[in-house]
Amino acid sequence: MATEHVVDQVEEMALNTVDDGPWSGGESPMKASYGKLMMWYFLLSDAFTFAGFLIAYGSLRFAMPSWPVPDFVFQSFPFLSGHYPLLFVTFMTFVLIVSSVTMVRSVQEGHRENKNGAAYWLLLTILGGATFLGCQAFEWYTLIVKENMTLTVDPFGTHTTEGILLDHDGKETEAIKVGETYLLHKAGGHGHGDDHGSEAHPMPTTPGDYPGFVIDEGGFILPKYKVTQEGHPDKGEIKTLEYGPKAFGALFFFITGFHGFHVFSGLVILVIILINVMSGLYVERKNGYEMVEKVGLYWHFVDLVWVFVFLVFYLL
């Protein structure tokens, strides 16, 4: 009898304490559903992944004596042949901001249980995301096909020593501006990263040492220059321009590629949610289209990451 009594008492105490307070079950102390909470924690972990990539970029950039200047590297614009530094990537940012705002509108219409409104703004969001991916495809195409950048070859070098460039015949021409970025061209080929020379001086296509330049095994033309910097150990010597930091291509393609992959997977999820919205699935749930809100969080996160990718790759 006595033990039974004690058990009763313990049970009663346990019940009293468990039922007390918001963390004892049956309540949501964070006033958010499980799905939404876990979306936030997933985004937190994803933020750390992106931070790891961007910190690697910063660390390698600090480790190099020079780094390609973004205003020079990113200056192509579709259908235009001139130089428009940062213009195209600004347009890409604009597209992503617009798609973020249409996402906000979709979530708002969802909260009002407005099926057509939510679907309409979701569709616009999908169009924005697809436009962004298309822009990124153009950017990658320009860098890979026209300018011959790969994961391990960075043709965007930057002048670090004062000197005088030599022309094709080996005569001294213009002075080098330290800190200016140049693009190494390829002999032959078709893009604007390729060089045929002029009619009077056709560019040779075989590797070798020529009066004003060297063509290396990879077909890149490395122009020669005379070092004129005071106090430089090689002052007076003829040297060839060097490639840019090897890691640049890998960092660019991996970071913008990882972001682009997020945009792509976001698009796939948005399409699935759009089909669900239009099928009337969320009408029955009567929770203010919470799935739209959750995918909205992911989509805004993609925009958020772009703020930082834009900062480190294009602005700094």
> Where on the chain is the footprint of other proteins (CB under 8 A)?
29-32, 37, 40-41, 43-44, 47-48, 51, 55-56, 58-65, 69, 71, 85-86, 90, 93-94, 97-98, 100-101, 103-105, 108, 111-112, 233, 288, 293, 296-297, 300-301, 303-304, 307-308, 310-311, 314-316
Smallest separation, CB 174 to other proteins (Å)? 17
Q: Contact at 8 Å (CB) between 238 and 223? A: no
Smallest separation, CB 242 to other proteins (Å)? 14
Residue whose CB is less far from other proteins, 5 or 31: 31
Based on its alpha-carbon atoms, the radius of gyration of the chain, rounded to whole angstroms, reads 29
- What is the 3-state secondary structure of 143-162? HHHHCCCCCCCCCEEECCCC
Measured over the CA atoms of residue 144, residue 314, residue 52 and residue 155, the dihedral's sign is: positive
Q: Tell me the pairing of strands 221-227 and 163-166.
A: antiparallel
Smallest separation, CB 310 to other proteins (Å)? 8
Residue whose CB is less far from other proteins, 110 or 212: 110
Residue whose CB is less far from other proteins, 249 or 296: 296
Q: What residues form DSSP beta bridges with 213? A: 223
Smallest separation, CB 87 to other proteins (Å)? 8
- N-to-C CA span, the chain: 78
Smallest separation, CB 38 to other proteins (Å)? 11
Percentages (nearest 5) of helix, strand, coil residues in the chain: 55, 10, 35
Residue whose CB is less far from other proteins, 123 or 144: 123
Smallest separation, CB 230 to other proteins (Å)? 14
Residue 198: half-sphere exposure toward Cβ, Cα within 13 Å: 5
Residue whose CB is less far from other proteins, 264 or 308: 308
Residue 293 amino acid letter:
E
Residue whose CB is less far from other proteins, 161 or 205: 161
Structure tokens at 278: 């239009």
Residue whose CB is less far from other proteins, 210 or 258: 258
Smallest separation, CB 114 to other proteins (Å)? 10
CA-closest candidate to residue 315, choices 44, 35, 85, 30: 85
| Residue 79, helix vs strand vs coil | coil
Q: How far apart are CA 61 and CA 64, in angstroms?
A: 5
